[in-house]
Structure 1
């Protein structure tokens, strides 16, 4: 059975409904001919505003719904598909609600926050369709914990073997073990790299420093070098895994606070409209 993404859910059901909503609201907006000009205070403006506000509340409710694993009201995949397409439709409905009249006030603030939430949501769809797949390819059959355990095993074996090497070579191997770093600054985690990685440095330096070795020591150094290569490859995979998780978390740190700010601005917008209606 072919896997379908959230965008293709139920043969694009929510895309079609969102497209219909956009077409109907745009058609009514074009047909509407107010005495002065289209704006949020006309009957159509209030209607579109009500639809937009209900859409915002429904979209915000998705954050609650996706944590209710035993809910019988639709599937999580269906809700997410609706969340994506109706979120885009909301941009059309809310823009028509404004009548393309924006100013320096709380009403425009609510609109701007809504746009930011929708744009950040679009970015979220992109990374959630791509990043989990990349994470799976990167990890293979391993988990981050199993990779870290494998690195620890390599360190132990590598140190034991390096004890029989000359001091200068043992020192390089020992530094690669003692100075291994994962995580750290925001920039390092988001880049998925560590330019000062002691293991990568050991991979570069060890072959040149071991040119004078022969016999048993040369063979032992070759084994140590192979372990270094394995460790370096594992470190790169762990750093990529941390980067992928950071990208997912960063999006939530942006999208969720913006959504909360939108709810507050929407509340003020609605209350002020009814107070001065």
Structure 2
């Protein structure tokens, strides 16, 4: 905040022969500060993976990363003098804004998604849920052997045809519109209306296991969806940061060439 205020006051106080822009002494000063901030912020990606570093905590660096990222937008905007055009300088500015915005979104995601993942899985893990699903498949198939063929076929489709994961769209949505387990949960009560006696009791047991499996599938797919949201943010933020570094180098080099 202090850096933003000082930059703003300097910009208002500065009175060059023409209106303020990046080519004045203040413009070069703010540009240098902005470039150093960009390099420092990019270094955070390296720092957070150095677990044995003694230069502050990861939480402290993250807090500074966020606040200085916001300050960077102010400093660099004043550095441009609000003069933007179709050139490499504007490209660097646009990439910087995109990196900062995606970074703020990433902070929001990382504050929200882990809590949602914990609430979704509880004390379990994705592997333990998959083991439960496998156990339910074995128990359902064994119990359904005494059911009529059309009901057994529903269970068999659930066991053999159900999948978790798949395409990125399916993982990111957290849903499988063609899931045979969900279809069996919907269709089996209608098919089983004719059952009586022992078969009706067996079908009730099988259907209870089928519903439990469907709930476990929902939790497993939701976990994969939340993880994909975290991964998607990195796939956007990191390439933008690399592109910003390249654009910054081109921006600085062109300034020195045409100084």
TM-score by length of structure 2 reads 0.99
Residue pairs, 1:36-115, within 5 angstroms: 36-115=18-97
Residue pairs, 1:202-217, within 5 angstroms: 202-217=184-199
2-structure distance, mates of 1:243, 1:94:
36
For residues 66-92 of structure 1, give each alpha carbon's deviation from its aligned partner in whole angstroms, at most 9, with x where no partner exists: 000000000000001111111011000
> Does residue 223 of structure 1 match 2:205?
yes
The SS at the match of 1:46 is: helix
Instruction: State the partner residue of 1:269.
Output: 251
Which of 225, 230, 241 is the equivalent residue of 1:259? 241
Residue pairs, 1:1-277, within 5 angstroms: 19-277=1-259
1-structure distance, mates of 2:128, 2:12:
60
For residues 126-173 of structure 1, give each alpha carbon's deviation from its aligned partner in whole angstroms, at most 9, with x where no partner exists: 111111110110011111111111100100001000011111110011
Unaligned runs of 5+ in 1: 1-18
The SS at the match of 2:210 is: helix
For residues 197-235 of structure 1, give each alpha carbon's deviation from its aligned partner in whole angstroms, at most 9, with x where no partner exists: 100000001111111111211111100000001000000
TM-fit CA distance, 1:190: 1.1
1-structure distance, mates of 2:64, 2:199:
65
TM-fit CA distance, 1:182: 1.2
Aligned residues: 259
TM-score by length of structure 1 reads 0.92
2-structure distance, mates of 1:177, 1:264:
51
Structure 1 runs of 4+ with >4 Å offset = none
> Alpha carbon RMSD of aligned pairs, Å?
0.7
1-structure distance, mates of 2:67, 2:204:
57
TM-fit CA distance, 1:117: 0.5
TM-fit CA distance, 1:266: 0.4
1-structure distance, mates of 2:128, 2:4:
49
